[in-house]
Structure 1
Amino acid sequence: MVNAGEFTGLPGGVAVSRLCVYDWPAADGVRGGTPHLHLACSEAYVVTGGRGAVETLTASGHEVTPLAPGTVAWFTPGTVHRLVNDGELRITVLMQNSGLPEAGDAVLTLPPEYLTDPETYAAATTIPAGAPEAERERIARARRDLALEGYRALREASGPEALAAFHRAAVALVRPRIAEWRQRWRRGALAAAEATGRFLDRLADGDAAHLAEAVVQAEQPVERGRFGMCGRLDVYGSPLRGPR
């Protein structure tokens, strides 16, 4: 059990990244990122500059949400989303569970033949950390374009089965990592919620001891300009693995 004064992560166990959305044109003429979904985490966008939109696909259908400075948009697990850059779109991304969306809780909308097993999927999505920048950009663009093929097929499908099949394939891909994810949740969001409960118990008893344990923290990005799914990322906190 984490003591009340031990959890010092961001409020609620969230994580943040700064995102410069790709301006690479795709086959449909739209500039932007790679469509994907998260299976366990919600995600929020705080738009800080530029213009664009987020396209979303759920069992309820396809929607387009405009993004402009000051917009805050968020979506729950299972929402296929694609960022569109209409001009210098800049976003601060808020992620549940200590950044789990950047640590594996994401599956790209690749065509079905790439979703058959973790090895096949990884071969199509992994960007080698030590590769030259030009090679990393090439891979990021190639996987974006491949994911757009699957995304278009999902949008154009006549019934719900194609999206349901993608959901099943995504779950099968991430199942081997659920125990690892559960530990991240316990150390982060759950620990933060439990700490609040203990603070409330102390306050109800008139106990102010935890106020003397107050801390202040600040940090700079630990990684700048990473090739992610949606754009170039400045990442805070411990370096995170995953295809973002």
Structure 2
Amino acid sequence: MTASSFPGGTSLSHLDIYPDAAPDGVCGGSPHIHLVSTEAYLVVEGHGALQTIDRDGYRETSLSAGSVVWFTPGTIHRAVNRGGLKVLVLMSNAGLPEAGDAVMTFPPSVVGDPDAYADAVALGEGEGRAVRAARRRDLAVTGFEALRAAVVAGDRTPLDDFYESAGALVRHRAAAWGRIVRERALAQAEDSLRLAEAIARGDVAHLRGARAHEAPEAASDRAFGMCGRIRAYDLTDQEIPR
């Protein structure tokens, strides 16, 4: 992997939450989970909410400029846009979400069938991607509503079934995830330990290699992400010109 000293082996993206309404009348993104990574939102503009489902139940957290929220693996989350909601997304384990560490809350018949899931989640190329992104969001909301109704009623069985199906769906990819974690987040943590031990010995040689880095300007084209139109920052180490 390309070297990056960005803090914590994390990734950073700018996300404009989808402004159009799902069938339930709520504007926002596609509900989904991450199986290994923790995700954080720093709200930079607008207002809305974060809807979450876990084994403690359903919760809605208000979001406005300056809000910071984060959610651990297994937290079903849905970003709700109530007016120009834009966030910076900080994701642990850079590279892992792109390697398949996310599952949308499609109904059980879809999440339990790898071929049906692949067909439902695909956006394809060229024209029509916006329509297909809205279609998959709406399908994920259908599953989300069923899971929410169950946990609100005190029934955790559908949630546990979703977890099992999600794990089975990505199990064939998970063997490669350890390498991503080792080469990014773990390598950076081990390097920090090495530097701390060097300082404890009175060795400051690494300070002479200090450098400042700057991410290049994000591309103007925004991808269709799960929660909105997204721009990912290139965080590979690139020195600031002198």
Whether the TM-score (by the shorter chain) exceeds 0.5 is yes
Identity %: 46
Counterpart-to-counterpart distance in 1, 2:95 and 2:39: 9
Deviation at 1:15, TM superposition (A): 0.5
Aligned residue runs from structure 1 range 155-166, under 5 A: 155-157=148-150, 158=153, 159-166=155-162
Aligned residue runs from structure 1 range 27-38, under 5 A: 27-38=23-34
Aligned with 1:154 (options 141, 147, 150): 147
Structure 1 equivalent of residue 130 of structure 2: 137
Deviation at 1:212, TM superposition (A): 1.2
Distance verdict in 2 for CA 1:22–1:161, change over 3 Å: same
**Normalized against structure 2, the TM-score is what?**
0.91
Summarize deviations over 1:16-71 as a string: whole Å, max 9, x none. 00000001111111111100011101100000000000000011000000000011
Aligned with 2:67 (options 71, 95, 104): 71
Summarize deviations over 1:60-102 as a string: whole Å, max 9, x none. 0000000000110011111000010000000000000014234
Aligned with 2:110 (options 80, 96, 114): 114
Q: Which residue identity does 1:173 align to in structure 2?
A: L
Q: Which residue identity does 2:143 align to in structure 1?
A: G
Q: Which residue identity does 1:153 align to in structure 2?
A: A
In the alignment, is the contact (CA less than 8 A) between 2:30 and 2:140 conserved in 1?
Answer: yes
Q: Is 1:235 equivalent to 2:232 in the alignment? A: yes
Q: Quote the RMSD (CA, aligned, Å).
A: 1.7
Aligned residue runs from structure 1 range 47-196, under 5 A: 47-128=43-124, 130-132=125-127, 135-157=128-150, 158=153, 159-196=155-192
In the alignment, is the contact (CA less than 8 A) between 2:95 and 2:180 conserved in 1?
Answer: no
1:197 is paired with a residue whose SS is: helix
Structure 2 equivalent of residue 198 of structure 1: 194
Q: Which runs of 5+ in 2 are unaligned?
A: 236-242
Counterpart-to-counterpart distance in 1, 2:130 and 2:157: 33
**Normalized against structure 1, the TM-score is what?**
0.90
Counting matched residue pairs gives: 231
Q: Which runs of 5+ in 1 are unaligned?
A: 1-5, 239-244
Structure 1 residue ranges (4+ consecutive) displaced by more than 3 angstroms after TM superposition:
none
